[in-house]
Structure 1
C-alpha cells in the first residue's frame, strides 16, 4: 500500500522524538533487569530456606500414583465370558459377588492429568519380539492373568508346556507378536518358603532371568507368616515363629533384605540387561479379624483419598517404605553405571488401599465348597481394580 501525504509528514518529524523514546525504553529495560535479578536472588534464598516447598508447572510430569477412583460407565475391559485366563478363585462374576456391577465401574484418575486407557494393540506392538517375567507371590500371577485378559481383545496366547499346577512357573506365548510372558511363583523371592535365606535369591528365577526383557518384581505379604530367616550362613532370627528364645525380626526388615538381594541379583545377572519394574505392596483388606478367624472384606465402593480408610495400615506402610527405599538404591546404582531408567517404580499401594471392595472375599468358590483360603481379601477380582495395573504398566514402559 502506498503511504499518503500525512503519513509522510509524520515520518519526517519522528526521528527527534524517537531518540528520546529510545533512551527512555533503554532506561526502563535496565531498571527492570536489575529488579528481576533481585527477584531471582530472593526466590533462590526462599527456596534454600524452604526445602519442602515445591513448585509444580504445567510441564511437570504427572504423578500417576496419586489420585481418585472415578465412575466409569464403560468399564470393565473384559468379562469371564471373553477371557479364559481368569483363575477360578478370582472369578467374582461366576460366584455372584454382591453389587459387582457397581464395583467394576470405576477407573483410576490421577490428580492433574489423565492416565490413558489400556490399548492392547499398542502394548503388543511395544513388546513384539520380547519377553516379560512376573516374579513374586500369587498376586504376581493375579497381575499376569489380568494383563492376559486385557490383551485378549487382540490375541490369545498358548501356554508353553501346559501344567496342572497353581504354585509353579508357567509361560505363555503370543505367536503373532512373538511375545512371551512368564510367572515365577516365589513368595519370598527365595526358594524355601519355610527357611528363607535372605542373601540367596531363588535360583529358579535368578538362573532363568537373563532371557527376559522386562521383569515385574513384587513380594511382601508372605513375610507376615511364621518363617525362619537366614543370612550369611547363620540363623538371623524369625518372624512370628512362636519360639520365645528366637531373635525376632520384624517382617519389614526381612522385606527390605529380600528386595535388596533380588534387585542386586537382577542388576548383576549375567546377560540380563532388561528393565525391572518394582511393584509395591497391594494391601489386603481384612476387617474384623484375619483370614483364619472371621475377617472379611465387605465394602461395596472405593474410598476417597481423604477418608481415613485410604491410609496404609502400619504393616503395609512399613513394607511400602522398605520396597521404595531399596528401589531408590537400585535405581541410583544403575544411574551411576550410566543405565538410567533400568529400574522403574510401579507404586500401587495408595490406589489399591482405596479398593477394599475389589477382593473376592467369600465369592471365590461356591458356599458348600470347603477350601483352605475361604475368605480371600488378598487377591483381586478379575475383572477388577487390578486391571488399572495394565494401564500403569503401559504408561511406565512407554515413558
Structure 2
C-alpha cells in the first residue's frame, strides 16, 4: 500500500513545482509593463562600430519622449515648459554613427534590463544635466517614479516597478577640495582672500564611500577647471600626500594629475564587476557672456567639430 501510494504521488511531486514555476512566469509577464516603442535591433558590438564617429542629422519627425510635466526638471531649466524658441528644430537633431545604428532609447526595455540594479553619476553639471533628461525619459516607463536623494545624492529617482535607482553625486573636481582662508597678522580669517586646497590623491567625500551601492558608475569633470570658476585671485593650490606640490602647478597640470589619481583610485577601489564609464567634456553653450554674466544659449544647431576645441580650451587661458 505504501509503495503504491508513492508511485501514485511521484508524478505529482515532479509536476507541481513545474506548474508553480509556469504560473509564476505567466503572472510576472503580466505584471511587466509593455513597451509601446517599436522593437529595434541591438547596437552592433563589432570592432567597426564606433559610436563617437558620426554626424548630426535632422529628423523632422523626431520628438522628445517626455513632456514639460516631468517633475525631475528644475523649473528654470525646463525649456519645454518655458517655451524656449525653436525647440522643435532643436529636438529634431539626432546623432547618427557612421558604421552602426543607434536607436532611440526604449525606457521600458532599458529599465527591464537594469532591473534590481543602481546607476550612479559623479561629476559636474554635465552629468547633472544629462541625468535630468535621462530621468525624464525613464519616467515614461514608470509614472510612479519618486525623487531620491539618499546616500548624499544631489538628485536622483527610484523606479519602483523595476527596483532601479538612478542618482547624481555632485563632485565638480572629483578630488577633495576646500576653501582655505588667508589669516591676517592678528590671526583673523578672511572671507574673501585665500586659496582652494585640492588634494589630488583623495576623492571627494561626495562619492568616496557610495560606490559599492551602484552597479554602473559614470564619471566626469572639466567645466570647473577654468579661471571663470576659480579666479587667479583665489586659485587652486594642489596637495599630494598632505603636502603642497612645489613648484605650484598651473590649473591644466593640476587637472591632469587629479585625473591620473582618480582613475587609479577607481581601478583599485571600485569592484571589478561595477561597470564604469568616463564622460568627456562638452563645449560651453553660452553666448554673449558667461553663465553668471548674462550669457545665453542661442544656438539652434550642433557645433561643428572645428568649433569645439577652441570653446573648451578658452577656459584654461
Superposition TM-score, scaled by structure 1 size: 0.55
- Give the corresponding residue for 2:290: 290
CA shift, 1:203, in A, is 2.9
- Aligned Cα root-mean-square deviation (Å): 2.8
**1:208 corresponding residue in structure 2:** 210
Residue of structure 1 aligned with 2:170, choices 185, 190, 193 = 185
User: Given the alignment of the two structures, is residue 231 of structure 1 paired with residue 240 of structure 2, yes or no?
Assistant: yes
CA contact (8 A) 2:283 2:312 kept: no
Choose between structure 1 and 2: higher helix proportion: 1
Structure-2 change in CA distance of 1:315 and 1:69 (3 Å):
closer
Cα deviation, 1:80-128, whole Å, max 9, x if unaligned, reads 4342211223212233322222111111111233211211122112211
Q: 1:286 & 1:169 partners in 2: Cα distance?
A: 24
Summarize deviations over 1:161-213 as a string: whole Å, max 9, x none. Answer: 579xxx95344221111111121111111333532111100133121111211
CA–CA separation in structure 2 for the residues paired with 1:68 and 1:317? 24
Q: Which moved more, 1:223-232 or 1:137-146?
A: 223-232
Pairing partner for 2:96 from 106, 109, 134: 109
Any gaps of 5 or more consecutive residues in structure 2?
A: 1-45, 179-195, 231-235
Higher relative contact order (CA 8 A, sep 6+): 1
Question: 1:85 maps to which residue?
Answer: 72
Following the alignment from structure 1 to structure 2, what is the Cα–Cα distance between the partners of residues 161 and 248? 36
Aligned to 1:132: 119
The reply on whether 1:173 has 2:158 as its aligned counterpart is: yes
* CA distance in 2: counterparts of 1:258 and 1:64, whole angstroms: 27
**Partner Cα separation in structure 2 for residue 130 and residue 204 of structure 1:** 21
- Secondary structure in 2 aligned to 1:142? helix
2:248 is the alignment partner of 1:247: yes
- 2:138 paired residue among 127, 151, 156: 151
Uncovered stretches (5+) of structure 1, i.e. residues with no partner: 1-58, 238-245, 320-399
Per the alignment, residue 7 of structure 2 pairs with: none
Larger Rg: 1
1:36-89 C-alpha deviation (Å, 9 max, x unpaired): xxxxxxxxxxxxxxxxxxxxxxx6422111211111223232344342211223
Q: Which runs of structure 2 are paired with 1:13-162 in the superposition (5 Å)? A: 60-156=47-143, 157-160=145-148
Rate the CA distance shift 1:159–1:299 in 2: closer, same or farther, 3 A.
closer
| Higher strand residue share | 2
Q: 2:28 aligns to what?
A: none
Match of 2:188 in 1: none
My pick for the range that moved more, 78-87 or 275-284, is 78-87
